[in-house]
Each structure stands twice: as structure tokens, then as C-alpha cells.
Chains A and B, each alone.
Chain A
Amino acid sequence: AQTVTQSQPEMSVQEAETVTLSCTYDTSESDYYLFWYKQPPSRQMILVIRQEAYKQQNATENRFSVNFQKAAKSFSLKISDSQLGDAAMYFCASAGSQGNLIFGKGTKLSVKP
């Protein structure tokens, strides 16, 4: 069975600063995909970034990047130049073999002006 663990229930960052959200996972799949989803207070979940496990290069999307450590089964999200609009619940997720998402418990990020 796949599991995803987020050990930080809440995090806070100053506007324009950098913050890193942690995630560890466990899977028996040899090829798998990892995701960070963002759920703002308005509720709609959107994809932030995706990492394919067979790719060694860390994924990057503008101010968002990941630190993917395959051997350690770690998949952290770094947000640079934090903005007020980044305040949200962030979920780390892995995709099961049938495409279903397994989510971590989430990290609530607050951004201070």
C-alpha cells in the first residue's frame, strides 16, 4: 500500500521569503508520480507541480520547485518569493497504479505581509 506523510500541519512564511514544505512517501511501485496540490480557502484544488520518479531532475514551475530524493523517499516543495496568494492548504500526493491519488494530511501555509 502507498502512504504519504506530511509532518508539518502548519507553516508560516513572511511575504517575499522562501519556505519549504516536507513530504515523505512509501510505495512499492517502480515507476510512480508525485504531486503537490494547493487548496486555497475557496476550496478548488489545483495542481502546483508534478514529479515523475524516473526523472532525476527536480521539477520546477516558476516560483515552485521540488527537492526529490528518491532513495530517501522524500519530496519537498520549495516556494520562493512567497506571495499572499500562496496562502492555502498544500497536499502532497502520490498516484496509485490505477491513477487514484493518495494524499498526505496537508500543510496549512500562512503568508504574513
Chain B
Amino acid sequence: DTEVTQTPKHLVMGMTNKKSLKCEQHMGHRAMYWYKQKAKKPPELMFVYSYEKLSINESVPSRFSPECPNSSLLNLHLHALQPEDSALYLCASSQWLAPSYEQYFGPGTRLTVT
């Protein structure tokens, strides 16, 4: 199984809502990532978890709150978002947090903030 799943596929939320994005992998990978991708742009790294601990936070606003409850699951909690946060949010995982390991990407969650 080389699949990373993400739910929901699409999400529309108001600026006062609280919602969560979910990412799951069952490949035994110990590194998991959140990326943000605006239209016609490359993915931009947001957070990296290694062994369920936050390893990298790329100065992301606090209205995005990541959580890694176990080695297979990664959540991104959203609160008080702005319209400019509308984007495709991609989750990825790799065997370990090291440059040599391939990252497997999920299909993404298309987020629209109204």
C-alpha cells in the first residue's frame, strides 16, 4: 500500500469557522508533511513531523495548527482563516526525515475560504 489519503476532498468554510483536514498513511512512514499550493504555483512547505514530533514550522500563522496524534495520522486544524488561505493543501509522507527518501503525496484538499 503506497497510498496517502486526505479528507475531505473539498472544503468551503467561512472566516469564523473551525475545521480540520485529515491525512492518513499506512506505509509505516515516520515523517509527514503539510504543503500549501496556490493555483499554478509549486507546493510550499508548511510543517514537518518526524516521529510524531513537530520538526519544521515554516513560520506559518497560528490560525493553522498541526497535530500528529500517531504515526499514521496527521491533522491540520483551521481557525479564523482569511480568503487568501484558499488553496490546495497537500499532505505527504516519507519513510524517514532525510533528503534521500521519496515523498508520497496525497490528492489534496481543495480549501475555499469565503
Contact = CB atoms under 8 A, between A and B. Distances in A.
Interface of A: 31-33, 35, 37, 42-47, 50, 52, 91, 95-101, 103-106
B98 interface: yes
B98 to A, nearest CB: 5
Identify whether the interface residues of B are mostly helix, strand, loop, or mixed: loop
Contacts of A33: 99-100
Interface of B: 31, 33, 40-43, 45, 48, 55-56, 88, 90, 92, 94, 96-108
Contact of A44 (B43, B96, B98, B108): B108
A99 B107 contact: no
B100 A45 contact: no
A37 B43 CA distance: 11
Contact of A104 (B42, B98, B104, B108): B42
Contacts, number: 58
Contact of A91 (B42, B102, B108): B42
Contact of B33 (A31, A46, A50, A100): A100
Contacts of B48: 98-100
Nearest to B6: A44
Given A91-B42, A103-B43, A105-B41, A98 B55 contact: yes
Contacts of B105: 37, 44-46
Contacts of B107: 42-44
Contacts of B45: 100-101
Given A42-B107, A45-B105, A98-B56, A105 B42 contact: yes
